[in-house]
Amino acid sequence: MAILFSNDLVVVEQTFFGGWKITARMTGATFKPSRRAVEQIGLVWIKVRKSPSVPVEVSRLAEALMFRSFAISAISPDAHEGRRFVATDPTLLAAEFLERAKTEHVRAQVPRPIGSVVYESSRFRLRVMENGDGLVVEDTHSDLIYTFNATLTAKMEEIMLGSDQLRYRAPDVEQGIVVRKVFELCCLAASGNWQAATVLNGGALSIARALHEGEHDALVMPQ
């Protein structure tokens, strides 16, 4: 048998006589893909390989995505991805794998920022760069990176100062929560969120007061 695809979860093998064997690594169980899935892998694989003007790295990554879906169709045929693999038009499916591969290939080329993490939420990771170039935000949902410009950094510092003043007037409000709200608001603004940018147009003390009172919680409190 020839191993055509292998990762931490599955192994996809093809026999010398054209048969297929899917192995789930965690359990060691083996599965045989349906006839429809076998037909589909043949059609999609040809289209992925023959796609014009596609770099070799992207083509290989598209094949890996294709084999992963093929394996899922054998192991969990009722799962969404498994059902979609056998039901989608081969041309559309091949185009989808290639597009996803292109996106992942581009993301892999982007250098990741190095620096101390000062704030992290379900979406953002804010770092102070070690080389003194200021603050950068990693958007973990889109894998994009944004920088804090001087204006945004100054505004954040002003709001932090305003929040510090207000804590003496509202001692029942936990200061750590408000600080996280400020970080989240500024990260959203750095990523291009228009609502956050609109909020930041106000005065620093007014913004700090609104955050203390929970006025923008729907925006700045990650779910």
Q: How many whole angstroms separate alpha carbon 166 and alpha carbon 60? A: 56
For position 112, what pLDDT does the model report? 57
Residue 10 pLDDT more than 90? no
Phi, psi (degrees; rounded to nearest 5) at 56: -55, -40
Residue 172 pLDDT more than 60? no
124-129 and 135-139 strand pairing: antiparallel
Q: How many whole angstroms separate alpha carbon 92 and alpha carbon 95? A: 5
Domain-by-domain residue ranges, the chain?
A: 2-109, 115-220
Half-sphere exposure of 188 (CA within 13 A, CB side): 22
**What average pLDDT does range 53-67 have in this prediction?**
88
Q: How many whole angstroms separate alpha carbon 170 and alpha carbon 163? A: 10
Q: Write out pLDDT tens, residues 120-151.
A: 888 898 888 766 567 888 888 877 888 888 88
Q: Which of 15-19, 95-99, 178-182, 190-194 has the lowest mean pLDDT?
A: 15-19
Mean pLDDT of the chain: 84
- Tell the residue number behind the tokens 């192991």, with chain if given: 75
- The model's confidence at residue 110, banded by pLDDT at 50, 70 and 90, is low
